[in-house]
Structure 1
Amino acid sequence: MSNRAGDMGMDVQVNRRLNSRYDADTEKEVVQWINQLTGENVPLGRENVAAALKNGQILIKLVNKVYEGTNPLPPTVTKKKHPFKANTMSAPFKQMENIQIFLTAAEAYGVPRTSLFQTVDLFEMRNMAQVLSCLLQLGTECQRNNFNGPTCGPKPTYETKREFTEDQLAASKTVIGLQAGSNKGASQKGMSIGAVRHIADIKADDMSKEGQGIIGLQAGSNKGASQSGMAMGAVRHIADMKIGEMSDA
């Protein structure tokens, strides 16, 4: 593991974004819970938490305490042989094996697979935010399974079923859903269907008779250049005849 190349290119940006999700308040809540259950003294700080949990021994101790304090255990847990034994060897693959034992036990206890983290997320500090999220979810499942001890994480959600009668289901068919539009707000009240649509407001013309004699700019302008002084139908000369008369003189 010590010879592994460092992140390069887009991996650096991905790592930076994952690390930005690491929350200090969540860390404090999780670390306090771990220390209460296991009697360990995990220090605060992303690097410190990763170093303390990296070998997986504290995680296995944590899940053993959770199993001991839950009665009855979920049906999926009874198939697992516990308490789990942590490997104390310093070999990297043995430490990662401890982490995998914890992940398997947490999933059997009720933690959704989508909330678990990958082994490298902890062992190589790839995504410590996901590690905290998994531990929080384990605390939530402790609340769901009536764990006899301190917990952490948000309260669990439960399925709530609704039963409707046939009359209620039939009445719902007469309701216009909002996806089909709303029958509130703007309406056609006061409008005459099929009436002439005027571009301008004819009521404004009735109020001001002066406006009827004005040509709007959209129809052209009656100002500026005009035909004033021009004789309609006269001969059009190519050259100016007045200049010719001046030169003859």
Structure 2
Amino acid sequence: MAEYRAGKAGINAEAQARIHSKYNDEIAQETLEWIRKLTGEPANTSGDADNLYEVLKDGTLLCKLVNELQPGSVKKINQTTMAFKCMENINAFLEAVKKLGVPAQETFQTIDLWERQNLYSVVVCLQSLGRKAGNFGKPSIGPKEADKNVRDFSEEQLKAGQNVISLQYGTNKGQQSGISFGNRRQM
């Protein structure tokens, strides 16, 4: 697991430090409190990275959370601490989250949580899921998602828009002669 791995060096260490600098304890704490509101777990909702990792690393709480939002999303939750079974839980959570409408760019890879490589992306995924929770009649977190605002234009309105000249086309007003860019060619 992560504790047996050699430390990163050079540019990899800098990249990892940048990833870790994005992590925010308050947002993580808000996320864990939301999870506790829905599932009754965890007892400790401290937002530090160590606690978040300990609470979520086996994936069972994540699977319970997604089953709370939509029952039956994850059919089998592995209760063992074997590495592949835990990663299977995390992967099942990720598949269920995508089906619930979380965009793929807001999810994380299993290894980000299991090897503690990018806990920031885990929190981003949970926050995105929290915004979708309102669609399932559950309490949500974060900003409210925008509603669709479909507009129908008539043919007459669409044709009227074709007669307007956009400012991006420029203008033919004013004097354009004498404009030169850079130096002139020296002979």
Asked if Structure 1 and Structure 2 have the same fold, meaning a TM-score greater than 0.5 normalized by the shorter chain, the answer is: yes
1:134 matched residue in structure 2: 125
SS of 1:34's partner is helix
Contact 1:60 1:84 in 2 (8 A): no
Tell me how far 1:5 sits from its aligned partner: 2.3
Map 1:116-155 → 2, pairs under 5 A: 116-143=107-134, 145=135, 147-155=136-144
Q: TM-score, normalised by structure 1?
A: 0.64
State the distance in 1 between where 2:128 and 2:52 align: 17
> Mind listing any 5+ residue stretches in structure 2 that lack a counterpart?
179-187
State the distance in 2 between where 1:124 and 1:117 align: 12
Tell me how far 1:102 sits from its aligned partner: 0.7
Tell me how far 1:175 sits from its aligned partner: 1.4
State the distance in 2 between where 1:99 and 1:83 align: 10
State the distance in 1 between where 2:171 and 2:20 align: 45
Are positions 1:9 and 2:10 aligned together? Answer: yes
Cα 1:82–1:172 change in 2 (3 A) is: closer
State the distance in 2 between where 1:161 and 1:43 align: 41
Contact 1:38 1:61 in 2 (8 A): yes
Q: TM-score, normalised by structure 2?
A: 0.83
Contact 1:34 1:62 in 2 (8 A): yes
Tell me how far 1:25 sits from its aligned partner: 2.9
- Give the count of matched residue pairs: 175
1:19 matched residue in structure 2: 20
Contact 1:42 1:49 in 2 (8 A): no
SS of 2:142's partner is coil
Map 1:208-223 → 2, pairs under 5 A: none
Are positions 1:46 and 2:49 aligned together? Answer: yes
Give every structure 1 segment of 4 or more consecutive aligned residues whose post-TM-superposition deviation is greater than 4 Å. none
State the distance in 1 between where 2:73 and 2:116 align: 28
Map 1:53-202 → 2, pairs under 5 A: 53-68=56-71, 82=73, 84-143=75-134, 145=135, 147-181=136-170, 188=174
State the distance in 2 between where 1:150 and 1:170 align: 45
> Mind listing any 5+ residue stretches in structure 1 that lack a counterpart?
69-80, 198-249
Tell me how far 1:182 sits from its aligned partner: 6.5
